Chain A
Amino acid sequence: MKIFRYLPFLILLFWILVVLLQPLFSLQPNDINLQQILAVPGDASWLGEDDLGRSVSDRLLSGAQVSLFVAFSVMLVTLLVGTIIGVSSAWLGGWLDQLIMRITDIILAFPGILLAIALAGLLGPGVGNVVLALSIVGWVGFARLARGQTLLLKNRDHIIAARSLGTSSYQIILRHLLPLLVAPLIIEATFAVAGLIIAEAGLSFLGLGVQAPSSSWGSMIRDGSRYLLVAPHLVMIPAIALFSVVMAINLLGDQLRDHLDVRS
């Protein structure tokens, strides 16, 4: 039964390796093979061919690169920015704290994905704009969490002790505060990645993400849905890939939360 506990981790590891080792596979995601249009999996190629006779497996793997790149880069940017803003907001307090909280209130007043669609629509299509749109929406969650945790920890004995010893604010935050913030932030970041992968796929599905001929799981589902009757594998394969990653990350997040014992 032990294998089940490691399964989410193994699935995620598989996809990360796929992305990192991509140069070794010599993929041809844009190679057109007109004899193989809409070929089903198994016959000539491993996962079949799409409406232009391009290899579904190659497009799936290169799409994984886009999905994971967007999700992880947005997560890193928002984690960094959100933590800095949240910690300084709580540490400094006063009108700055009030201002930042009102800004987050306004952003949180709207559902994230709706805001991301609107922003990505205003910015125009493209991977860079998707990253930007998701980042503008995403930092708020981390800022709220970091602020809340900092407010809780600010008056702990060890921080007061450090302050009365004359340690600078910078040193206190870096050495005495941030290490205690790591666990809740890592858990939040894990769930954020799952949400971001779905968000990126959703934006790509609407045509706001990567542009043709590059592939992403969302755009593969969109393009494939036109051939649903003759070639359902065009939708089902990226859908299953998406589902496997999202479930794996969510389960991993649950395990991390139990393991690190963080009360939300």
Chain B
Amino acid sequence: MQILFIRIFSAFVVMFGVSVIVFFFIHVIPGDPVEVILGETARLSDREALREALGLNQPLMSQWLSYMSGLLQGDLGNSLYSRQPVTTLILQRLPASAELALAAVIVGIVLAVPFGMWAAMHKGKLWDMASSSFMLLGIAIPNFVFGPVLVLIFSLWLGWFPVSGRDGFLSLVLPAITLGTVMAAILARMLRSSLLEVMSEDYIRSAYARGFSPIRVMFRHALRNAMLPMITLLGLQLGGLLAGAVITETVFDWPGIGRLTVEAIQRRDYPLLQGCILFISAVYVVVNMITDIIYQLIDPRIRCAA
């Protein structure tokens, strides 16, 4: 219970730190949002009026206080470009992002488990080398190369899937594979090494000694224990997934939060960009907190040690 409390408290501290850094970063760097909205040729009086309306003429500290009090009420300000509340814009894009992330995690696990198992069972042999180099390729090829290659082969040449956009299940396939493969490669490597470690444990030898078949030992005794580190890694990989989503959503024109972030960057929409960064960080921090807690609940060995 105490661990749970400390974990939640430290997550709050990190989020507070992130919000402070993002706020001051935006206000310290050169570049005037008023100029972005009105253009460089605007009259001085118009600029002053807008500055007043946006509250940009107040001292930095009081701007920060009003920003923080808005933040605590879930108000992230309004977009400079569309004038809509940032919270509304983010929530609009949330379903698309969640759908893609979930699909990518499924692709990642479905690819990683057989590859990792296969490599571990044939350690040092040709199959191990083949699947290891496949995993290396998965890590070395960035999303923005892999995505267009998939589009070229499966959308343009074979015509199986749409090129871009979000329109039904078929349009989800290529983005999910693009985003999921990197994750699969990392997970498979991890699973391989953690399986090899588990396979040398006493209880595996005992299981063999009791006459269980290798398949049964693998699935019932080895895999279940080797999957544990994967839970932590999945949480950590989510960060990579969120970053990859920014690029993947751009490749496929997928209307998620990653695409929204890039749009905010391109339009110099500072409140929106600030909101997106805060939202992505919050997701990351919360998911890692949850995986930490799950990890402790799931494994009796860790629970007893703590």
A212-264, CB < 8 A from B: 218, 221-222, 224-225, 228-229, 232, 235-236, 239, 242-243, 246-247, 250
Question: Residues of B contacting A160 with CB < 8 Å?
Answer: none
A109–B240 touching, CB < 8 Å? no
Question: Residues of A contacting B246 with CB < 8 Å?
Answer: 114, 117, 206
B49 interfacial by beta-carbon distance below 8 Å? no
Which of A109, A120, A122, A218 touches B144 (beta carbons < 8 Å)? Answer: A218
A122–B29 touching, CB < 8 Å? yes
* A110/B284 contact (C-beta < 8 A), A121-B261, A121-B265, A205-B250 known: yes
Which one of B145, B247, B262 has the greatest number of beta carbons of chain A within 10 Å?
Answer: B145
* A114/B273 contact (C-beta < 8 A), A121-B264, A228-B148 known: no
Selected interface stretch from B69-77, B110-118, B149-157, B207-215: B149-157
Question: Residues of A contacting B242 with CB < 8 Å?
Answer: 111, 114
Question: Residues of A contacting B156 with CB < 8 Å?
Answer: 228-229
A189 interfacial by beta-carbon distance below 8 Å? no
Per-position contact with A for B260-300: 1 when CB-CB < 8 Å, else 0? 01101110100001000100110011000000000000000
The closest CB in chain A to the CB of B288 belongs to A109
Which of A120, A124, A208 touches B31 (beta carbons < 8 Å)? Answer: A124
Per-position contact with A for B240-262: 1 when CB-CB < 8 Å, else 0? 10110011001100000000011
A235–B148 touching, CB < 8 Å? yes
Question: Residues of B contacting A239 with CB < 8 Å?
Answer: 145, 148-149
For the complex, what is the distance from the CA of A242 to the CA of B148, rounded to whole Å? 14
Which of A202, A224, A229, A250 touches B247 (beta carbons < 8 Å)? Answer: A202
* A111/B250 contact (C-beta < 8 A), A221-B145, A247-B140 known: no
Which of A201, A247, A250 touches B142 (beta carbons < 8 Å)? Answer: A201
B243–A114 touching, CB < 8 Å? yes
The closest CB in chain A to the CB of B145 belongs to A239
For the complex, what is the distance from the CA of A119 to the CA of B281, rounded to whole Å? 13
Which of A201, A232, A242, A247 touches B152 (beta carbons < 8 Å)? Answer: A232
Main secondary structure of the interface of A (DSSP, over half): helix
Question: Residues of A contacting B243 with CB < 8 Å?
Answer: 111, 113-114, 117
Question: Residues of A contacting B152 with CB < 8 Å?
Answer: 228-229, 232, 235
Question: Residues of B contacting A221 with CB < 8 Å?
Answer: 144-145, 148
For the complex, what is the distance from the CA of A118 to the CA of B262, rounded to whole Å? 10
Min Cβ gap B237→A in Å is: 9
A122–B25 touching, CB < 8 Å? yes
B144–A202 touching, CB < 8 Å? yes
A207–B141 touching, CB < 8 Å? no
For the complex, what is the distance from the CA of A218 to the CA of B251, rounded to whole Å? 12
B142–A198 touching, CB < 8 Å? yes
* A206/B140 contact (C-beta < 8 A), A122-B25, A124-B268, A232-B152 known: no
The closest CB in chain B to the CB of A194 belongs to B140
For the complex, what is the distance from the CA of A205 to the CA of B248, rounded to whole Å? 11
The closest CB in chain A to the CB of B146 belongs to A239
A123–B29 touching, CB < 8 Å? yes
Which of A113, A122, A247 touches B26 (beta carbons < 8 Å)? Answer: A122
B250–A242 touching, CB < 8 Å? no
B39 interfacial by beta-carbon distance below 8 Å? no
Which one of A109, A218, A222, A224 has the greatest number of beta carbons of chain B within 10 Å?
Answer: A109
Q: A122-B273, A235-B152 are in contact. List 9 more A-B contacts (CB 8 A).
A: A111-B242, A111-B243, A114-B239, A114-B246, A118-B280, A201-B144, A206-B250, A207-B266, A228-B151
B residues within 8 Å of A by Cβ? Answer: 14, 17, 22, 25-26, 29, 31, 140-145, 148-149, 151-152, 156, 239-240, 242-243, 246-247, 250-251, 261-262, 264-266, 268, 273, 277, 280-281, 284-285
A residues within 8 Å of B by Cβ? Answer: 106, 109-111, 113-114, 117-124, 198, 201-202, 205-208, 218, 221-222, 224-225, 228-229, 232, 235-236, 239, 242-243, 246-247, 250
5 A–B pairs (Cβ distance < 8 Å), ordered by A: A118-B280, A206-B250, A228-B152, A242-B142, A250-B140
